[in-house]
A = this chain, B = another copy of it.
């Protein structure tokens, strides 16, 4: 409806997709129900500012009021810092999927083992945390590599070193992401009021 709010809705959707989040994931991060996100993105509601801010924060966006005559300059800034080119959204999606796949694989493997090595739990937490970062192509490669390492352990449960290898890869990935030295900064992972998981490590 609202001609002016339509733009907001589009921005939200684009931001979400570019980060590879599903509406349900975003719902978890922002504490806004998925159904409501759907309505918002399709412009079916005149949402309240608090809802908008909740979503924005989860998407690493900031709601600002800028003077009309500065809008072009602002847009130019935003544009130059945007995702390098195209395909980013798809890569983010794939990276997130790969993470989930690995997570699932591990959890399916766990019950079978009499006593799982310590590293397995760590691996799981690491994956858990990585899901909070915005990922892209290069990260996808690292994740796949870690996934590969775990498969080696899967096929030979004596090879604990493979787990260690996998874990170390993900840790290093997490550190690069957290320190923002290479890719998108994202120094602070978005954290909902109710914590979905505890993650804290070095």
Asked whether, in the complex, the Cβ of A65 is within 8 Å of the Cβ of B70, the reply is no
Choice from B47, B61, B67, B69 contacting A68 with Cβ under 8 Å:
B61
CB contact under 8 A between A61 and B65, given known A73-B77, A74-B74, A77-B74? yes
Number of copies: 2
Asked whether, in the complex, the Cβ of A67 is within 8 Å of the Cβ of B49, the reply is no
CB contact under 8 A between A50 and B8, given known A60-B68, A63-B65, A71-B62? no
Asked whether, in the complex, the Cβ of B50 is within 8 Å of the Cβ of A4, the reply is yes
CB contact under 8 A between A2 and B53, given known A62-B71, A63-B63? yes
Asked whether, in the complex, the Cβ of A67 is within 8 Å of the Cβ of B63, the reply is no
Q: CA–CA, A167 to B33, complex, Å?
A: 59
**Interface membership of A196, Cβ < 8 A:** no
Q: CA–CA, A4 to B64, complex, Å?
A: 10
Asked whether, in the complex, the Cβ of B66 is within 8 Å of the Cβ of A61, the reply is yes
Tell me how many residues of A have a C-beta within 8 Å of chain B: 36
Asked whether, in the complex, the Cβ of A47 is within 8 Å of the Cβ of B49, the reply is yes
Which residues of A132-165 are within 8 A (CB) of B? none
Q: CA–CA, A2 to B62, complex, Å?
A: 15
List of B residues within 8 angstroms of A56 by Cβ: 65
Asked whether, in the complex, the Cβ of A78 is within 8 Å of the Cβ of B71, the reply is no
List of B residues within 8 angstroms of A15 by Cβ: 65
CB contact under 8 A between A8 and B66, given known A46-B50, A77-B77? no
Chain A 1-29 against B: per-residue CB contact (8 Å), 1 yes, 0 no?
A: 01011001001100100000000000000
Pairs A-B, 8 closest by C-beta atoms? A4-B53, A46-B50, A61-B65, A11-B65, A60-B68, A73-B77, A46-B48, A5-B49
* Seed contacts A73-B77, A77-B77; 16 additional CB < 8 Å A-B pairs: A2-B53, A4-B57, A5-B49, A5-B50, A46-B48, A60-B67, A61-B66, A61-B68, A62-B71, A63-B63, A63-B65, A64-B64, A66-B77, A69-B184, A74-B77, A74-B78
